[in-house]
Amino acid sequence: MSETMTDFARATQDILVAGQRMDARGWVPATAGNISRRLPDGRIAITRSGCHKGFLQAADVITVDEAGKPHRSGDKPSAETLLHCQIYQQDPTAGAVLHGHSVAATVLSMIEKGPALHLADYEVLKVFEGQTTHETSVPVPLFENDQDIARLAQVVAPSFGSMAAGYIIRGHGVYVWGKDMPTALARLEGLEFLLACLLERRKLGL
């Protein structure tokens, strides 16, 4: 097996495990969400369109170039592939991107009228890059949902550099990334825990 194939096989395994983990927590219902990993040669391994993330097979992972174009004719990546590509372009250290559709992210992003959700005073905030104490507030930007992904990417672009916890598309879901899949998963789990806490506090009127 060539080194390139070995890299792709490793990336595919990372994506399959991430899909199972996200599905087990209810963050990727039906065929929602998508998962990607950057390969050393610059290609992006990403989930094929229309696949249930809890039951991914190796054949459900394809590769695209930095513009989101599939390398193999007939492969159909998610319509949101451009948002993954944008993250890799904007953050050279990003090695994995996760997109989920949790209840907390969906509901909070629809009822919050401001431009961001603010997560403050939680110990788990230290999972995000640059955070060393619970005595801080981390904004999670909210962007309006748009079926025109290229246009949505243009709206998101100016916020790069100030999204330590990722971002949320209103009524849709979260985007989180990290230097590798374990880091991205840890950040996603941290964000989803904090969003669940925020939703519970709002239910309690706190």
On whether 84 is known to bind a ligand per the annotation, the reply is no
- Kindly state the helix (H) or strand (E) to which residue 21 belongs, with its residue range: helix 3-24
pLDDT at 5: 58
pLDDT at 1: 40
Q: Is 101 annotated as a binding residue?
A: yes
pLDDT at residue 132 in the model: 80
Domains of the chain: 3-203 (3.40.225.10)
Here the tokens at position 131 are 């955070």
**pLDDT digit of tens for each residue in the chain (206 aa)?**
445 558 999 999 999 999 999 999 999 999 999 999 999 999 999 999 999 999 999 999 999 999 999 999 889 988 899 999 999 999 999 999 999 999 999 999 999 999 999 999 989 999 998 888 887 889 999 999 999 999 999 999 999 999 999 999 999 999 999 999 999 999 999 999 999 999 999 999 87
Burial label for 77, CB within 10 Å (0-12, 13-18, 19+), is buried
- Burial group, residue 3, by CB count within 10 angstroms (0-12, 13-18, 19+): exposed
Q: How many degrees, rounded to 5, is the angle at CA 116 between CA 54 and CA 49?
A: 25
Cβ count within 10 A of residue 138:
19
CA-wise closest residue to 150 among 77, 206, 67: 67
